[in-house]
Chain A
Amino acid sequence: MNRVLAHTGARYPIVQAPMGWIARTQLASAVSRAGGLGVIETSSGETEACQAEINKMKALNLPFGVNLPIRFLRDDAMLKFVCNSGVKFVTTSAGSPAKFIAPLKGAGITVYHAVPTVETALKCVEAGIDGLVVEGAEGGGFKNPEEVSTLVLLQGIRARSDVPMIAAGGVCDGRGMAAAFALGAEGIQMGTRFVSSTESPVHANYKNAIVEAKETGTLVLNKKSTPCIRALKSERTKAIHDEG
């Protein structure tokens, strides 16, 4: 039995990444209706708006998850809300999940944490995490400045632990999904692919920029500080990249 399906209640082990402002009901409900798992973001910091989105998703009676980006949460308001909301699946990211695991699991919620290294993964397993979102450096958005590919990360974690893994970073189709499963993953998470979907709320210019980009079309910025991010090449990001 696939543990990601058991944990999420989705028909297929395909998870939509929790992009700030983008991962709201319009996109998440389309993904969940299609058999995947829509996830509502809270990294925008818009606590009330995100709580309203969670309530909207609940009313649709579809499987879904919520992301809690630990470092970006100003207080414990969102954690408390999620614990009392009836949400069944949470991914945590950006910081140590140690203090989040007990309250979330106490509320009957399954918790996966997003990890960029084998060391972080093993710490999460020790802390009692239910599963991991294994985020290779290929992925977009907020990144670990020490880049490790999805290919290496999945193998490194699977060699040391039997924890359920959702592969993220560089995966956008069935080829990527099959490759991830060969390396021990039981699910995939896709961000860029769903940002450029019909139901994504973003402007056509952004979707078209993704469609037009080559595999060399992104840059990792701000490696010496925080947040380190991967973004599309543009005049602005080239200038930031050149600053070092």
Chain B
Amino acid sequence: MAPDALKGIRDVYFHGEMEAAPALAGQSAGLIDEIKSAQAIIDETIAEFFAITGRLGGLASGRTFG
């Protein structure tokens, strides 16, 4: 990779020129299918976290695998 490959990163970020530089992102891009507010992201994450840990807690207390 050329040493200046990231030089155009601000053109990607702020001008939407997606070929101006590598657009940094993680594999979780494949799990994200909607633009949401920070509030919605956090509220939904917390609700889902407690739904899952609640279900898992039930497995432990019942000594069962579901």
Task: Give chain A nearest CB distance to B55 CB in angstroms.
Answer: 9
Tell me which of A30, A34, A140, A240 contacts B26 (CB under 8 A). Answer: A140
Q: Which residues of B contact A173 (CB under 8 A)?
A: 31, 44-45, 48
Whole-angstrom distance between the Cβ of A240 and the nearest chain B Cβ = 5
Once the chains bind, are B35 and A230 in contact (CB under 8 Å)?
no
A240/B31 contact (C-beta < 8 A), A140-B24, A231-B24, A232-B25 known: no
Chain B CB within 8 A of A211 CB: yes
Does any Cβ of B come within 8 Å of A153's Cβ? no
Q: A174-B51, A197-B37 are in contact. Are A12 and B42 (CB under 8 A)?
A: yes
List A203-233 residues whose CB lies under 8 Å from chain B.
203-211, 213-218, 221-222, 225, 227, 229-232
A232-B46 in contact given A199-B37, A209-B18 (Cβ < 8 Å): no
Does A139 lie at the interface of the complex (its beta carbon under 8 Å from any beta carbon of B)? yes
**B19 adjacent to chain A (CB < 8 Å):** yes
Q: Chain A: which residue is nearest B50 at the CB level?
A: A174
Q: Are B48 and A175 in contact (CB under 8 A)?
A: yes
State whether the Cβ of B64 lies closer than 8 Å to any Cβ in chain A: no
Contacts of A231 in B (CB 8 A): 22-25
Please give the number of chain B residues whose Cβ is less than 8 angstroms from any Cβ of chain A in the complex.
46
- A31-B42 in contact (CB<8A): yes
Q: Which residues of B sit under 8 angstroms from A217, Cβ to Cβ?
A: 25, 29-30
**Chain A contacts for B30, CB-based, 8 A:** 213-217
Shortest Cβ gap from B28 to chain A (Å): 4
Smallest Cβ distance from A65 to chain B, in angstroms?
15
Q: Are A193 and B22 in contact (CB under 8 A)?
A: no
Contact B52 A178 (CB under 8 A): yes
Give the contacting residue for A34; candidates B15, B19, B43, B47; CB below 8 A: B43
Which residue from chain A places its CB closest to the CB of B53 in the assembled complex? A178
Q: Is B61 an interface position by the 8 A CB rule?
A: no
Measured CB to CB, the residues of B under 8 A from A are 1, 5-6, 9-10, 12-19, 21-39, 41-53, 56
The list of the 7 closest CB pairs from A to B, nearest first, reads A174-B48, A215-B30, A205-B16, A203-B16, A231-B22, A140-B26, A213-B29
- Chosen A-B contacts, 21 in total, with CB atoms closer than 8 Å, are A14-B42, A31-B38, A31-B42, A35-B42, A36-B42, A172-B31, A174-B47, A174-B50, A175-B48, A181-B53, A193-B28, A193-B32, A197-B35, A203-B15, A210-B32, A211-B33, A213-B32, A214-B29, A221-B22, A227-B6, A231-B22
What 19 additional pairs, Cβ within 8 angstroms, besides A139-B26, A195-B25, A205-B17? A12-B42, A21-B10, A34-B42, A138-B27, A138-B28, A140-B26, A172-B31, A172-B32, A178-B49, A192-B29, A193-B41, A198-B36, A199-B38, A206-B23, A211-B34, A213-B29, A221-B22, A229-B24, A240-B22
